[in-house]
């Protein structure tokens, strides 16, 4: 395990029994592609598992915390917590980007701070923690690092960042919004779209997603953050 991951464990007050799981959680596929010698594994499978563990633990937390909320409200709130912009915020708070093992090409193109990468790393870390120490330790971690950063119990989040941005720009008479899909990358079964949102001739935000609509939502969330609008 490289020195940085030992530093991360100390910062989080978590000691992995299987440190290779932690290393895998922070290993991007670009690093594996450039280091084919050795037993390197990327974090994509852990990301898949972590996504499911997050869904379960966040669902349980919301079920216990909001006894009077309907199923629809709980579903909406959970979606706003586990969406990419929120996971990026959590990853940035914990400085996860600085620990990722990247290939040189990904590093040179700013991959370390790419929102989709940060969200994936947060999910893969949760998956690794679950495999290493079980569900209860994951819950302890989330109670310490994620749940305190959620809004007050009386406030229900919305995941419709595009509507929030539209309302903000109208209130401040900024002009008409325009969304543009500026890039498509990855194989057909793992297509990633990149969207930008503009007002007049000013770029407000950029985001990526597995569909055009998701990319536009993430672009709107980034724009709201740039405008210092609280989206959490």
The order of strands in the sheet holding 202-209 is: 177-185, 192-199, 202-209
In the chain, domain spans: 3-149, 161-226
Residues at the binding site for Mg(2+) are 47, 120, 123
In the beta sheet, which residues pair with residue 120?
A: none
Q: Where are the beta strands (DSSP E) in 146-201?
A: 177-185, 192-199
**Predicted pLDDT of residue 120:** 92
In the beta sheet, which residues pair with residue 202?
A: 199
Q: How confident is the model over 16-21, as a mean pLDDT? A: 95
Q: Is the pTM of this model over 0.85?
A: no
Whether residue 42 has pLDDT greater than 80: yes
- Nearest in space to 196 (alpha carbons), one of 217, 211, 210: 217
**Predicted pLDDT of residue 3:** 63
Mean pLDDT of the chain: 86
Task: Decide if domain 3-149 falls under CATH 1.10.150.130.
Answer: no
Residue 71 is a catalytic residue: no
Residues at the binding site are 47, 120, 123
Residue 123 is a catalytic residue: yes
Query: What SS3 class is residue 202?
Result: strand
DSSP code for 97: G
Task: Decide if domain 161-226 falls under CATH 3.30.160.20.
Answer: yes
Residue 51 CA: distances (Å) to CA of 13, 54, 168, 172: 23, 5, 31, 37
Annotated active-site residue in 42, 84, 106, 123: 123
Whether residue 163 has pLDDT greater than 90: no
53-57, 116-120, 167-171: range with highest mean pLDDT:
53-57
171 Cβ neighbours under 8 A, 6+ residues apart: none
Q: How confident is the model at residue 194 (pLDDT cuts 50, 70, 90)?
A: very high
**Predicted pLDDT of residue 186:** 77
């Amino acid at each position: 395990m490289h020195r940085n991951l030992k530093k991360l464990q100390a910062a989080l007050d978590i000691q992995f029994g299987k440190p290779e799981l932690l290393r895998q959680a922070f290993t991007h596929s670009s690093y594996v592609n450039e280091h084919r010698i050795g037993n390197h594994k990327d974090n994509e499978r852990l990301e898949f598992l972590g996504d499911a563990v997050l869904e379960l633990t966040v669902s349980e937390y919301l079920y216990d915390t909001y006894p009077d909320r309907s199923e629809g409200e709980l579903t909406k709130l959970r979606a706003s917590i586990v969406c990419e912009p929120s996971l990026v915020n959590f990853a940035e708070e914990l400085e996860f980007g600085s620990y990722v093992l990247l290939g040189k090409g990904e590093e040179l193109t700013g991959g370390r701070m790419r929102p989709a990468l940060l969200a994936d790393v947060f999910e893969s870390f949760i998956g690794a923690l679950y495999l290493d120490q079980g569900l209860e330790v994951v819950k302890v971690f989330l109670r310490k690092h994620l749940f305190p950063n959620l809004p007050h119990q009386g406030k229900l989040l919305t995941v419709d960042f595009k509507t929030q941005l539209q309302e903000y720009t109208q209130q401040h008479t900024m002009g008409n919004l325009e969304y543009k899909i500026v890039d498509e990358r990855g194989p057909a079964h793992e297509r990633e779209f990149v969207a930008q949102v503009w007002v007049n001739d000013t770029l407000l935000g950029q985001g990526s997603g597995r569909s055009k609509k998701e990319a536009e939502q993430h672009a709107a969330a980034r724009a709201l953050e740039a405008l210092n609008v609280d989206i959490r």
